[in-house]
Structure 1
Amino acid sequence: MVEHPAPEHLWQVTVEHPPIGMCLVSTDGVMLNVNRALCQMLGYAEHELRGRTFHEITHPEDLDADLALVRAALAGECGTFRLTKRYLHADGSVVWGDLSVALMRDDDGAPLHFVSQVFDVTEQRLDRLRLLEAVAAVERHRRKAQAILDTVDVGLVLVDSEGNYEEMNRRHHDFLALAFPHGHGGLAGQLGAVYAEDGFRVLGRDEMPSVRAVRGEEFDDYRIWVGADPLTCRALSVSARPVRDADGTVAGAALAYKDVTDLMRALQARDDFVASVSHELRSPLTAVLGHVEMLLDDPTLDASPRRALEVVERNAVRLRRLVGDLLETAEGRATATALTRAPTELTAIVAEVVETTGPLAAEAGVDLHASLPDSVMAVVDAERVRQVVVNLLSNAVKYTDRGGQVHVSLCRDGESVELEVRDSGIGVDAEDLAQLFTPFFRARAAVERVVPGLGLGLSIVRSIVSAHGGEVLVTSAPGQGSRFRVRLPLERQPAAD
């Protein structure tokens, strides 16, 4: 027959060896017995804790709450209670304990002693405090970031991969109120009073900046108008960048909406002014040139006045060209460049422009020469292409010092034709290259050397080439000249019209 330990011994083992602190406490708060776990938790030997009151090991700030529960138990209001409180470790540090207490009574109901269990929750409590501090720090940073974003005069919005609006600043709320006066549902692609750069055509869903951004597009200066009222509508320049997860997956996009209303209206006013002035100048210029040509046709005209009239004619022709450039630039901003395509002999056009530019180059002391094939046919607008060659050649001569060289070449490259104009001129700074085709922009070197011009020739070149479905490439460096390459498709490109 197996002998079992006495129940008293089993109870002693059960109380002494569990990982939870346990003790018997008299009704007046004296600790009668304590187990090993409680001694280790508080840093005392067993004999040091016996005879002490729980008041001595309880943090002063938590003692009142503990005593209130003890009094309630002794008064019969509760038989057990539980609280989380701080204990004082022997080394002076604080230990957090989860205390569970039961009041034991005799058969007559008189209180005998308290049985207490204490679970050490110091680490959990510290983790919780650290978490709360971290959450508070994050919230502080969030409020600071929001305050900063709300002071920025740019609308900012963050969308997720599904197009849901996650965050936006106050400025963007203002723009949404203009575009969606009846409310916005916080989802990319909603249609409202959002218009294209011309201010008239309503944008379709696929053209909305938010939809383009959600598709993963990255863009800058995408111009739109918002608001149906002409008095309060605003022009916005939109930029977008993808937001990626740690593994590189696109998780959404960030968009910035900058108010460029004043700029757009100033550009429109400038274009209207330029167009009006250009139209007004054309008629008197035509009259001047007509009468000069009539006088030059007179065989009895003496040499001296003839030379004077030829000077007048050259400058009037140059002025007419400048007026034409101004008018074309103003009209080109409002409408796409119109083309009249037909099979065209490009070699003949380039050779003709080289021949007519020859006297200008000779007068400037610039060596102009060309390498042209016998024939290159392409379906293009002949007059527009001639304008491209004229602008590139006149620029090359104008920006090349006396003694320099300008070389023109034309060749077929697969299904395209390439025109190259290379000079040994003053060149362009790297910082200016990006703006070289912007209307009215003039490179720093040209301004410093007081080279005449309006900064329109290259912008016209780009618009004509783009309308043909081609491209213009340029490489340049200060003091090392410039190289312009125009690539045009040989056949008609319907998508480019």
Structure 2
Amino acid sequence: MVGATPENPDLWRLTLQHSPIGMALVGLDGRLLMVNRAMSEMLGYDVEELQQRGFQELTHVDDLDADLVQFDRALAGEIDSYRLRKRYLHADGHVAWGDLSVALVRGRDGRPLHFISQILDVTEQHEHEDRLRAATADVEHERQSLEAVFETVSVGLLLIGRDGRYERMNRRHQETMRLPFPDGHGGEAGQLGHVYHPDGKTLMAKEDMPSYRAAQGEEFDDYTYWVGDDPITRAAFSVSARQVRGPSGERLGAALAYQEITDLMRAMQVKDEFVSSVSHELRTPLTSVLGYLELLAENDKMPADAVAHVQVIRRNATRLQTLLSDLLQVGQVAEVSLQLQRADADLVAVAREAVEAARLYADQSGVGVELDVPHRLLTLVDAQRIRQVLDNLLSNAVKYSRAGGTVTVCLREAADGIVLEVSDTGMGIAADEIDQVFGRFFRGGEALRQQIPGTGLGLNIVSSIVAAHGGEVTVDSELGRGTTFRATLPHVTD
């Protein structure tokens, strides 16, 4: 910069002192000849202190070499100015970042006179950039980690946009798409293919497809189905769906996770077929055994002690027959929907009969049985099946109650149908077992610890019968306080 020295030194001095940017005149040896207030405030030194120092001792050691290289190049005539970002040492020891612009001033004869330096304090900006870089690095690490998880998990993952279009899927899900959609998939929720309900026979309608349900805003867990045209090679899946929402709660789409459960479903089928087959095979000889035991018990020539032994055999054989009937019914429910024989029935009469039948066992256990019913309640049901519901609920209530406890059967009409409740003051059910009580063969932990006999089929049968009537059964329970099973049936009349 030739002839840059102002003609009016006072004007130059005023400009220097009042500039909001740090400014300094720097000698050819690097000493600060003149500095302004902005630079003083930036570095934390008085103006007089700064004018006794050189830029070399104010510069961070890691940035000094880069500054000196440019400084020497300017003195050598290679460049007239330079700019760089560097660190300064603040008076209190912390680092201040400055955006430095330097111009060399020459005399009329071309000889270097001094440097003019401008320093913009960019400490906050640099710290912000550091934080931004760190945050960006964290986000990228998180993205890469999620990408690795997304592509390596054994679960199929699918992301659907709010318009129902497929936005992304992982490799696992892409591989499984070939079975239900051998001709390819259009990438839109609800596309039909070789997708079957859990019975393996009924094709799914568009409204039943998990992708369509999720695209419509539903959330669900463990939705099971079969895929594949060939029954031998088809696969079973369990899918769960959650909605993806933005910061304000707006729906952005849905995420679905697909877990293959073919082995589990086939094992359950084999188990059901085995149970059904064994039950059928045992029922015929057992019926014959019970018939001959009946004849033996009625034989007047039998000694009294022999008759007593026969009665013990009959009781156990009858119990075995009941178990086989339960197993057969569970197998039938698994294969087809439960068939009902509906007719007009007085549920009050059905409830009274069930309670009277349960009293003998209840009295032997020291448990009281109470009945809270209206005078009459007519509806269209399968009375034999409803009696089965009551028998199972009463048997459980008495079995899991302590001596001195009470079982109450309540029947009433409500706005949403007919409500049938069986309550007890027994041991109760643990909170983490409530959702499992209607599963086949499930036995609660407390029942197992106390070695209370049972098969774990009764409540599954109750649930099946109530569902076949178009109703719902729920349970409320508290450990040590008792349990209430509540079946709600639609009120149907001719």
Alignment partners' CA distance in 1, 2:84 and 2:291: 107
Query: Residues 444 and 66 of structure 1: is their aligned pair in 2 closer, same or farther, counting only changes over 3 Å?
Result: closer
Deviation at 1:23, TM superposition (A): 3.4
Match in the other structure for 1:179 = 177
TM-score calculated relative to the size of structure 1: 0.76
Query: Residues 111 and 342 of structure 1: is their aligned pair in 2 closer, same or farther, counting only changes over 3 Å?
Result: same
1:345 lines up with 2:372 in the alignment: no
Matches within 5 A, 1:158-169: none
Deviation at 1:17, TM superposition (A): 1.9
Deviation at 1:124, TM superposition (A): 1.8
Aligned length: 484
Match in the other structure for 2:330 = 329
CA contact (8 A) 2:371 2:409 kept: yes
Query: Residues 197 and 244 of structure 1: is their aligned pair in 2 closer, same or farther, counting only changes over 3 Å?
Result: same
Query: Residues 127 and 229 of structure 1: is their aligned pair in 2 closer, same or farther, counting only changes over 3 Å?
Result: farther
Match in the other structure for 2:320 = 319
Q: Given residue 273 of structure 2, which amino acid in structure 1 is its aligned partner? A: D
Alignment partners' CA distance in 1, 2:230 and 2:69: 70
Matches within 5 A, 1:364-403: 370=371, 373-399=374-400
CA contact (8 A) 2:192 2:206 kept: yes
Query: Residues 74 and 390 of structure 1: is their aligned pair in 2 closer, same or farther, counting only changes over 3 Å?
Result: same
Alignment partners' CA distance in 2, 1:49 and 1:368: 98
Query: Residues 425 and 42 of structure 1: is their aligned pair in 2 closer, same or farther, counting only changes over 3 Å?
Result: closer
Alignment partners' CA distance in 2, 1:426 and 1:449: 11
Report the 3-state secondary structure (helix = DSSP H, G, I; strand = E; otherwise coil) of the residue aligned with 1:96.
Answer: strand
Alignment partners' CA distance in 2, 1:454 and 1:199: 28
TM-score calculated relative to the size of structure 2: 0.76
Matches within 5 A, 1:456-467: 456-467=457-468
Deviation at 1:151, TM superposition (A): 8.3
Match in the other structure for 1:282 = 283
Alignment partners' CA distance in 2, 1:481 and 1:126: 63
CA contact (8 A) 2:157 2:172 kept: no
CA contact (8 A) 2:220 2:242 kept: yes
Deviation at 1:275, TM superposition (A): 1.2
CA contact (8 A) 1:179 1:193 kept: no
What's the % identity of the aligned pairs? Answer: 50
Query: Residues 451 and 491 of structure 1: is their aligned pair in 2 closer, same or farther, counting only changes over 3 Å?
Result: same
User: Which string of whole-angstrom CA distances, capped at 9 and with x for unpartnered residues, describes residues 376-412 of structure 1?
Assistant: 2212223322322332334345445667665545444
Alignment partners' CA distance in 2, 1:40 and 1:404: 85
Query: Residues 25 and 326 of structure 1: is their aligned pair in 2 closer, same or farther, counting only changes over 3 Å?
Result: same
User: Which string of whole-angstrom CA distances, capped at 9 and with x for unpartnered residues, describes residues 437-489 of structure 1?
Assistant: 22112234443444432111111011111221222244455665544333322
Deviation at 1:340, TM superposition (A): 3.4
Alignment partners' CA distance in 1, 2:100 and 2:278: 92
Report the 3-state secondary structure (helix = DSSP H, G, I; strand = E; otherwise coil) of the residue aligned with 2:454.
Answer: coil
Deviation at 1:127, TM superposition (A): 2.4
Query: Residues 365 and 69 of structure 1: is their aligned pair in 2 closer, same or farther, counting only changes over 3 Å?
Result: closer
Deviation at 1:156, TM superposition (A): 6.7
Deviation at 1:88, TM superposition (A): 4.0
Alignment partners' CA distance in 1, 2:416 and 2:168: 49
CA contact (8 A) 2:33 2:51 kept: yes
Alignment partners' CA distance in 1, 2:89 and 2:410: 93
Report the 3-state secondary structure (helix = DSSP H, G, I; strand = E; otherwise coil) of the residue aligned with 2:418.
Answer: strand
Query: Residues 195 and 79 of structure 1: is their aligned pair in 2 closer, same or farther, counting only changes over 3 Å?
Result: farther
Report the 3-state secondary structure (helix = DSSP H, G, I; strand = E; otherwise coil) of the residue aligned with 1:276.
Answer: helix
Deviation at 1:370, TM superposition (A): 4.7
Report the 3-state secondary structure (helix = DSSP H, G, I; strand = E; otherwise coil) of the residue aligned with 1:418.
Answer: strand
Deviation at 1:274, TM superposition (A): 0.5
Report the 3-state secondary structure (helix = DSSP H, G, I; strand = E; otherwise coil) of the residue aligned with 2:87.
Answer: strand
Report the 3-state secondary structure (helix = DSSP H, G, I; strand = E; otherwise coil) of the residue aligned with 1:491.
Answer: coil
Query: Residues 492 and 235 of structure 1: is their aligned pair in 2 closer, same or farther, counting only changes over 3 Å?
Result: farther
Query: Residues 101 and 409 of structure 1: is their aligned pair in 2 closer, same or farther, counting only changes over 3 Å?
Result: closer
Q: Given residue 268 of structure 1, which amino acid in structure 2 is its aligned partner? A: Q
Q: CA RMSD in A?
A: 4.6
Match in the other structure for 1:3 = none
Match in the other structure for 1:487 = 488
Deviation at 1:132, TM superposition (A): 2.3
CA contact (8 A) 2:297 2:311 kept: no
Report the 3-state secondary structure (helix = DSSP H, G, I; strand = E; otherwise coil) of the residue aligned with 2:97.
Answer: strand
Greater shift after overlay, 79-88 or 209-218? 209-218
User: Which string of whole-angstrom CA distances, capped at 9 and with x for unpartnered residues, describes residues 182-222 of structure 1?
Assistant: 99898866667765444565655554545545655443333
Report the 3-state secondary structure (helix = DSSP H, G, I; strand = E; otherwise coil) of the residue aligned with 2:487.
Answer: strand
CA contact (8 A) 1:180 1:193 kept: no
Alignment partners' CA distance in 2, 1:42 and 1:396: 83
Structure 1: gaps of 5 or more residues: 1-5
Deviation at 1:429, TM superposition (A): 4.6
Structure 2: gaps of 5 or more residues: 1-6
